[in-house]
Structure 1
Amino acid sequence: MDRETKISGLAFIVLLIGLGLAASFIVLFAELADEMLEQELGVFDAVIIALLETVGSNAMDLVMFIFTELGSVWVIGFLSIIVLWILSFRMRDKWGVLFFFVAVGGGALLTFLLKHLFNRDRPSINEAIDAVGYSFPSGHAMGSLVFYGFVIYLVIRTKQKPWIQWLSVFCLSLLIMLIGISRIYLGAHFPSDIAAGYIAGAIWLVLSLVALEWIQWQQRSPVPPVQALRKVLAPVYHAVLKKF
């Protein structure tokens, strides 16, 4: 088996794993949404809210306000312009531009649709922290996971130095988590809203990246995907047959 076929086959398997991961997240989201509708998340939400209330202070209020703003529409919108400039003029990645729009723009639309599907009221209304409209799932949680998750993908995909990759993954992952915590701390969301936002964001991000990788792989690989997969799996199939 030539090297190109082996790489293509393994890449196809990775894409299938991505689709399987997205399917698992869909099931998880459905379970969480069902429990929310059945009002079975009260204890879960109350315990986490009570824990965050124990660290409340004026200084913490300011810190959490800063983190919540980093997940706002305005900040992510501004940062998206920078990312699009990099993708368009520095990397000249037309497919990256398209799927960045699909991921971030489509994610925002999906958040809107899900919020109006479930119609869950917020724990409190506060326009100062962008806490208006429906609560489930959290738009800040979903939007930050999709946007900052896409940035993590770009850092890894562009083959930066290992320490830059690890630092970026750690810092951006921590930021995503703190944005969600800030929404709970400030009373804008229930913890289950944040969990739902992360899960829904993960679904959309994985599907967007799988589609992007599929198209880019199709363009750069001379080996048809199905043929590559068949050649990679053939030895495994024959080995199993021999054992039986």
Structure 2
Amino acid sequence: MNLKFQLSIALLLSLISLICFGFMAFFVSSHEIVHFDRTVISFITGFESPTLTSTMKVFTFIGSSKTIIILSVLILFFLYKVLKHRSELILFLAVIGGANILFFSLKLFFHRARPDLHRLIEVSGYSFPSGHATNAFALYGIFAFLLWRHIPTRLGRTVLILISIVMILSIGVSRIYLGVHYPSDVIAGYFISGFWLTMAIWFYQRYKEKSSIGSRIR
């Protein structure tokens, strides 16, 4: 897969994610997604059990800001000391930092109250979009992107992608299960994070391409 094709795919995915987020924001603002939210919440909470509640609390803790910061520091150390990468540190920080700025700003803009249907934990702040979902998609998405090229086997890459998907989905579902987010909050978090992640990758790949061309000319 050549670089130009990769850049086109990244840009296309970024635009699609942004458009999808726009639709979600419109449906939430116009209250046209209430039935969808309630249906999904009812389905997920139908599996409630003490064991599952404990499991969901673990996933929501993994997706918390404190844990994200700790994991980010560990990943940065791994990138710098083990893989000897420097430009990728900037990409990683841009993705995580940008994702946080985006969801904080959007929460303040939309002012959506959290659901009060069946809350198993208490949290403060606005609901839309989900910060946990946004951070999970950004963290595991960028880590998978950066680690992908260092895994030589197809099996290893498949395992990497599956683990990332499981973590992203589990953290998002945990917020719905615990009653602190609507499903539309979580989906919107995935979309806005997907937009920022792919856009950051696009800029990074463009930078690498220009640097490569410049070094060949010199």
TM > 0.5 fold call: yes
Which segment drifts farther, 144-153 or 126-135?
A: 126-135
Q: Normalization by structure 1: what TM-score? A: 0.83
- Larger Rg over CA atoms: 1
Moved over 3 A (4+): 124-130, 221-224
Q: Counterpart of 1:101 in structure 2: which amino acid?
A: L
Q: What corresponds to 2:9 in structure 1? A: 17
Residue 202 of structure 1 and its aligned partner are, at CA, apart by: 0.3
**Residue 143 of structure 1 corresponds to which residue in structure 2?**
135
User: In structure 2, what residue type is equivalent to 1:185?
Assistant: Y
**Contact map agreement 2:119 2:178 (CA 8 A) in 1:** no
How many Å apart are 1:92 and its aligned residue?
Answer: 2.2
* CA distance, structure 1, for counterparts of residue 172 and residue 99 of structure 2: 16
Matched, 1:41 2:37: no
Q: Is the 8 A contact 2:133 2:168 kept in 1?
A: yes
Cα deviation, residue 219, structure 1: 2.0
Matched, 1:183 2:168: no
TM-score in terms of structure 2 length: 0.92
Shift of 1:222: 5.7
Equivalent-residue separation in structure 1 for 2:49 and 2:119 (angstroms): 20
Distance 1:45 1:75 in 2: 27
Q: Percent identity?
A: 30
Quote the offset at 1:124 in angstroms: 3.8
Structure 1 gaps of 5+ residues are: 1-6, 225-244
Aligned-residue RMSD, C-alpha: 2.2
1:19-76 superposed Cα distances (whole Å, 9 cap, x missing partner):
1221111111111101100000111001001101211111111010011111111111
Q: Residue 29 of structure 2 aligns to which amino acid in structure 1?
A: L
Structure 1, residues 111-151: CA drift from partner, whole Å, max 9, x if none? 10011011100014999957310000000000000001111
Q: Which of 65, 82, 86 is matched with 1:90 structurally?
A: 82
Kept in 1: contact 2:63–2:132 (CA 8 A)? yes
Deviation at 1:18, TM superposition (A): 1.4
Confirm or deny that 1:219 pairs with 2:204.
no
* Contact 1:180/1:194 (8 A) holds in 2: yes
Secondary structure of 1:93 counterpart: coil
Is contact 2:95–2:196 with CA below 8 Å preserved after alignment?
yes
Q: 1:198 aligns with which of 179, 184, 190?
A: 190
Partner of 2:199: 207
